[in-house]
Amino acid sequence: MQGSDFVQIRIVVKNPCRCAFLYFGPIMGLKAGVGKAKVVFRQMSMPLFGYGRFYHLSTAQETDLFARAFLFQHDNQYACIINLECYMISHHFKKAVLDEIAKRIPKCPIKAEHLLICTQNTHSAPGGISHYAFHNLSTRGFRPDVFEAYKNACVESFLLAWNAQFEAHLFLNASEIEASVDVGFNRSLDAYNRNVNVEPLDDTQTHLAIDRMMRQVRITDTQGHERGLINWFGVQGTSISVNNDKIHSDNKGYAASLLENDKSELHAYVAGFCNDASADVSPNYHGRAKWWPRGKFEDEFKSAYFTGFLQFEKAKSLTEKEDEQIPISNRVECRLQYFDFSSVLCDADFSDDGLEHRTGNAAAGLAMLSGSPVDNPGVDAITYSVLQSWVRYRNFLRKVPLLSKRQSIRDFKNLSEAQGNKLILSELQERKVLGFSNLTKLKLPPGLSEVGDELKHLYRKGALNEHTWVPVIIPIQIILIGELAIAAVPGEITTVAGRRLKEALLNDLQKQGVLDVVLCCNANEYMGYTTTKEEYEETTYERGMTFFGHYTLAALQTCFRRVSTLFESAPDIKSTGIQPPEFSPHELNLRTAHKNQLL
């Protein structure tokens, strides 16, 4: 055998997402690069983003935040994954990173389809970096200084990886974290138990209602020296609560730093701990079998360290076990396409009744305000009850012919069909709250006065006129590294929804030689949450944040299927189609936190 030749033996096991595969012979010709750059903020007093609270502000910094880049190249095909320590990013952020890379390296071949930027979900990092109004509401506007700090770190980490490429070998490690290890708990067990084909669990078994599989790609040079690792395991970055006022990378930040410190004796070593399916997975205890205060300890920093250490410990053990080292080939391919998620016609085999169904316009449900009982409790019961009654009353009026225009009645009927039994709080695509498009007429209970005041302020300034309040044109991206498919999920997805997406994608990509799939969540954009249709029937925070209705998972499966077919064409064949909208500098400036600063 010469060059990149190899012999592949596939061993099939019962779970198709856990295939093992072995190679005999050299796997050469792949280059890799790793880079790590610190996020440098110009001030310490900034709004922290993730819990959606106006009072969640930083006064100091407990841990540094980093961007970590992993570059792969073979036969002039490139892929780069950047893991950023914050809650979420947007298409506009990724575009700014690409534009800056193009300035720094004029003939750089890295384009949108080659670059995946994901976040690790810490809720204790500064926010305000989306161009969409809804995602910047609690930060009181767009924050150019925060945007630039994150962008600079991403670009610098990429440049470090680009300028220090080396001949590399890649290995896939995968193993379940033992059930006795308190690394995560399902925070929406009633919704989980609604799923068909799952064994119902009681509230002493929330630790079993998560995906305990950890996967990682280990990177070595040709001498066998450890150079880096990309890890995927699903758990929220909520070890540290909304009561914290310090910038912090949470449990995955600790995991990354611990592994880097352990592995970097001889060479610079970079470890990225990404999120897999984690929308319903908390590091804090949910159930009635333990008496935890929230996390393991009263001190939330200790709780974050505890959960981070468990992930580090498992990741390290996987790198050291001979029987867990699965070499993967040097294939590097990427595909990317945008879809209008407000109107996806879902393939019939992804629906419960075997029929095609269509998603609907983006809408936030009232259940969003209920929060998560341990991670982030919502509004008080009285406020929720008042809003619930008001929403039902408004919905009734909107169906009465004498009180609404015929087209409005049809539009609301279509929206209601797509959104199912969700009580709609805000029509994010039509820019309405409680049915009001004129937000000066909006009256919210005292518990939501800050939200109402901010919305009215933005409305009066004309800062909410362009486009939608959340992204609707969504990027779907797949990266193939050897026999591993990395699916860039543009938001958060629940355990069972993630399992179904992996199984569907693996089935679609097996003809491309793919033997395993990971979900890289909070990647490239933030479309909110994705639940299964069964979970959607339960009134939970996750349902309220599933913006495109009860067929959102079917839409994701359909769109990833469309992108998977693009691998049947040559790598240089670029897909065409719709692109996300660009906000004018004028409107963006109207809702920026620094009025005199424009992008």
Q: What is the pLDDT of residue 574?
A: 56
334 strand-pairing partners? 479
170 strand-pairing partners? 219, 328
CB 441 within 8 A of CB 382: no
CA distance 497 to 540: 15
Q: How far is CA 585 from CA 142, 529, 588, 589, 591, in A?
A: 12, 29, 5, 6, 10
* Residue 525 structure tokens: 């954009």
DSSP code at position 523: B
Q: How far is CA 338 from CA 147, 449, 490, 562, in A?
A: 23, 36, 11, 10
CB 113 within 8 A of CB 477: yes
Burial grade of 321 (CB within 10 A; 0-12, 13-18, 19 or more) = exposed
Q: What is the pLDDT of residue 212?
A: 98
Print pLDDT tens along the chain (599 aa).
333 333 343 333 334 444 444 444 445 689 999 999 999 999 999 999 999 999 999 999 999 999 999 999 999 999 999 999 999 999 999 999 999 999 999 999 999 999 999 999 999 999 999 999 999 999 999 999 999 999 999 999 999 999 999 999 999 999 999 999 999 999 999 999 999 999 999 999 999 999 999 999 999 999 999 999 999 999 999 999 999 999 999 999 999 999 999 998 767 899 999 999 999 999 999 998 888 999 999 999 999 999 999 999 999 999 998 887 899 999 999 999 999 999 999 999 999 999 999 999 999 999 999 999 899 999 999 999 999 998 898 888 777 776 667 777 788 888 989 999 999 999 999 999 998 999 999 988 888 999 999 999 999 999 999 999 999 999 999 999 999 999 999 999 999 999 999 999 999 999 999 999 999 999 999 999 999 999 999 999 999 999 999 999 999 999 999 999 999 987 655 556 899 999 999 999 999 986 433 33
In order, the DSSP letters of 137-202 are TTTTSB-HHHHHHHHHHHHHHHHHHHTT-EEEEEEEEEEEPPTTS-S-EES-HHHHHTSTTS----
274 phi and psi angles, rounded to 5 deg: -95, 165
The neighbour count for residue 246, using CB atoms within 10 Å, is 15
* Residue 466 structure tokens: 């362009």
Radius of gyration of the chain (CA): 23
CA distance 121 to 6: 38
* Residue 120 structure tokens: 């690790």
Q: What is the pLDDT of residue 575?
A: 54
520 strand-pairing partners? 488
Residue 516's nearest CA partner among 14, 153, 6, 18 is 18
The H or E element that residue 371 is part of is strand 371-372
Residue 119's nearest CA partner among 598, 554, 523 is 523
> SS3 helix, strand, coil % of the chain, rounded to 5?
30, 25, 45
Residue 486's nearest CA partner among 246, 276, 316, 327 is 276
Angle at 160 between CA 474 and CA 165, to 5 degrees: 95
Q: Which residues contact 496 (CB under 8 A, 6 or more apart)?
A: 192, 195, 198, 532, 535
Q: What is the pLDDT of residue 471?
A: 98
Place of tokens 């994010």: 428
Q: Which residues contact 62 (CB under 8 A, 6 or more apart)?
A: 246, 247, 248, 301
67 phi and psi angles, rounded to 5 deg: -110, 135
CB 549 within 8 A of CB 359: yes
Residue 517's nearest CA partner among 15, 11, 90, 5 is 15
Q: What is the pLDDT of residue 125?
A: 98
Q: How many residues does the chain have?
A: 599
CA distance 542 to 365: 9
The neighbour count for residue 153, using CB atoms within 10 Å, is 25
Query: Given its phi and psi angles, is residue 570 left (phi above 0), alpha (psi -120 to 50 degrees) or beta?
Result: beta
Helices vs. strands in the chain: H and E counts, helices first: 13, 30
CB 272 within 8 A of CB 256: yes
CA distance 243 to 223: 47
Query: Which three-class secondary structure state does DSSP give residue 265?
Result: coil
CA distance 167 to 151: 28
CA distance 129 to 138: 12
